Homo-oligomer: A and B are copies of this chain.
């Protein structure tokens, strides 16, 4: 059971398993500023408390690129990712859905 953390006092939450939210978070982070992969990994680590493995992050970035939602710019050994117009539009719609699903969760 992935949510073993549900029984552990030292785990912050039950939603430590946020499958399916990775792409959404990536799009959101890149909307703040373009970043390369390891920067994204670092930001995710700060927020989630766990650093995504390369096998998690890079396939996700590739899928988003293949879907036309973000574009790449190679600089040295790093690749800077940024949102395409489609990515921005998609993020907007995703946020709306997110708000509808989690209405009231953040209140009080």
**In the complex, what residues of B have CB within 8 A of residue A104's CB?**
28, 32
Given contacts A6-B69, A101-B18, contact A13 B47 (CB under 8 A): no
Is A15 interfacial (CB-CB < 8 Å)?
A: yes
Q: How large is the interface on A (under 10, 10 to 19, 20 to 34, 35 or more residues)?
A: 35 or more
Contact with B along A52-63 (1 / 0, CB 8 A): 000000000001
* A-B CB contact pairs (8 Å), 22 listed: A3-B20, A3-B63, A6-B69, A13-B90, A13-B94, A13-B95, A13-B97, A14-B93, A15-B21, A15-B94, A15-B97, A15-B98, A16-B97, A17-B19, A17-B20, A18-B20, A20-B20, A21-B21, A48-B101, A95-B105, A95-B106, A98-B102
- Copies of this chain, tallied across the complex: 2
Bound-state CA distance A28–B99 (Å) is 14
Query: Nearest chain-B residue to A20 (Cβ)?
Result: B17
Complex partner residue of A23 from B14, B96, B99, CB under 8 angstroms: B14
Complex partner residue of A6 from B90, B95, B99, CB under 8 angstroms: B90
